[in-house]
Amino acid sequence: MKLYGSPGAPCTARVLLCLEEVGAEYELVTLSMPTGEHKGPVHLARNPFGQIPALEDGDLVLFESRAISRYVVRKYKTKASDLLKEGNLSESTMVDVWLEVEAQQYNPAISPIVFQSFILPKMRGATPDQAIIDTNLEKLKKVLEVYEARLSNSKYLAGDFFSLADLSHFSYTKYLMATPYGSVFESYPHVKAWWDDITSRPAFKKVAAGMMGS
């Protein structure tokens, strides 16, 4: 199994975390983003959109990090590592709900903040647009209010069990915490406790160590 991407890229980190969490054997093939390797014909054969990551498992080639993540946790499902809870309809549906919340509500609010306050200044030497940060910070606060209410009634997002729904929040939140805006979590104690819990897992620590700014 080969994963093509960059360990510092949030979507690659999402898949890396899945692979580490389930104990899969894999090879990370790092692509050179500055030279545009991900836009070259070899990688376009893996991902026609010229984005990362892409996964090769034998003859199967996958792209889109959330789809790859589901594939990985399904392939390596065990009693001790069942991150989709597909044997239980109500539990698996709640995992689906919070995966959708992450993709449709959380990520659209947090990713512009990370891009402006972390990626632009650290990787491109550019000046952040404070208006974009401020607008999306307000959006993120509204999302975190929903998370705070949810996590006041359950240990994890989908229920009292760790799942892919929790894991999928890792990479962008990790980068947010490396900026001054990470302090927003302090206003949501149940969210902060949840974050401290999931990031204490060995897989999280290992993947975090390979990301930018670590």
Question: What do you get for the CA distance between the two ends of the chain, in Å?
Answer: 26
% pLDDT > 90, the chain: 89
> Has residue 100 got a pLDDT over 90?
yes
Distances (CA, A) of 106 to 15, 137, 147: 18, 11, 10
Question: Do residues 81 and 23 make contact, with C-beta atoms less than 8 angstroms apart?
Answer: yes
From CA 9, how far away is CA 212, in angstroms rounded? Answer: 8
Q: What's the whole-model pTM score?
A: 0.93
The per-residue pLDDT for 125 is: 76
Residues 6+ positions from 18 with CB-CB distance below 8 Å: 68, 69, 72, 73, 83, 164, 167
Give residue limits of the domains in the chain: 2-76, 89-201
For residues 175-192, give the mean pLDDT.
96
DSSP-assigned letters across all residues of 91-119: HHHHHHHHHHHIIIIIHHHHHHHHIIIII
Confidence tier at 213 by pLDDT (50, 70, 90): low
> Has residue 123 got a pLDDT over 80?
no
Distances (CA, A) of 17 to 24, 62, 174, 198, 203: 10, 17, 12, 12, 6
Span 17-44, pLDDT tens digits: 999 999 999 999 999 888 889 999 999 9
For strand 2-5 and strand 54-57, is the pairing parallel, antiparallel, or unpaired?
antiparallel
Q: What is the CATH number of domain 2-76?
A: 3.40.30.10
Span 148-159, pLDDT tens digits: 999 999 999 999
CA angle 8, 12, 14 (to 5 degrees): 105
Span 47-89, pLDDT tens digits: 999 999 999 999 999 999 999 999 999 999 988 889 999 999 9
Average pLDDT over the chain, rounded to an integer: 95
CATH fold of 89-201 reads Glutathione S-transferase Yfyf (Class Pi); Chain A, domain 2 (1.20.1050)
For residues 126-142, give the mean pLDDT.
96
From CA 27, how far away is CA 184, in angstroms rounded? Answer: 36
